[in-house]
Structure 1
């Protein structure tokens, strides 16, 4: 929110001024506030599905079985894809925090539609997590005490990293 306020102050210094409301100030929206005038249902579907895809990518890329150090590449590429697909639909949220700040500065029309860009990414995130757990069951984890009991006393050694 602070960064959006600073950006607004800088933009107001441009010759002729800057009015954030007609320019939408980076807000999300549907119907008349959508870049290509997509409706509410399109925004709902886009936010849920694309947020679920993002969460699936993050969980898969950061899984212990994934190669170390490469998570940023698939996550970044998926974010590019999500924005290319969703900017024309509703401006792309997939992150409630990213939607709240600009809406506060853009005025009541943006705030009235903000619920979609808070609730739908949360639903999409939960859906992505459920799908990930359904297709990738976590490995069984045992405690140190269970491991020591399972081993004979001569074989049980603790190795502290």
Structure 2
């Protein structure tokens, strides 16, 4: 079977996506892809999500931070960005998602917008609300454990 000529092949755009969650959250590739498809289906409808064709090409998530490359058809970038922004949880874990940038090739997307060396988190006790509490510290972000669950804080919030 012959390949299609270049002018008939589908054109793609590649979105660099950053994710952030609690430090002990388990977020997998399948769950993230499922959340993307579900969000696109709800926001764009069945026909619109099929046209946009959001496909997860690469995904990594560890210690509460992650990144992904999402492939989208050329004319559907705005709808895809809206669908990605509407994802609020993956496999029951709350997650924050941000589109870092858009590129025409996977290589350019990875070189410009991806940080392969992410900062690791450390476990330590911090002073929060006048008492010592366990926390996972990642750069300026802290996940502090309190009686009712967890609180996201910065280094300015802790003593």
TM-score normalised per structure 2: 0.29
Q: Which has the higher contact order (CA 8 A, sep 6+)?
A: 1
More strand by share: 2
Which structure's CA Rg is the greater one? 1
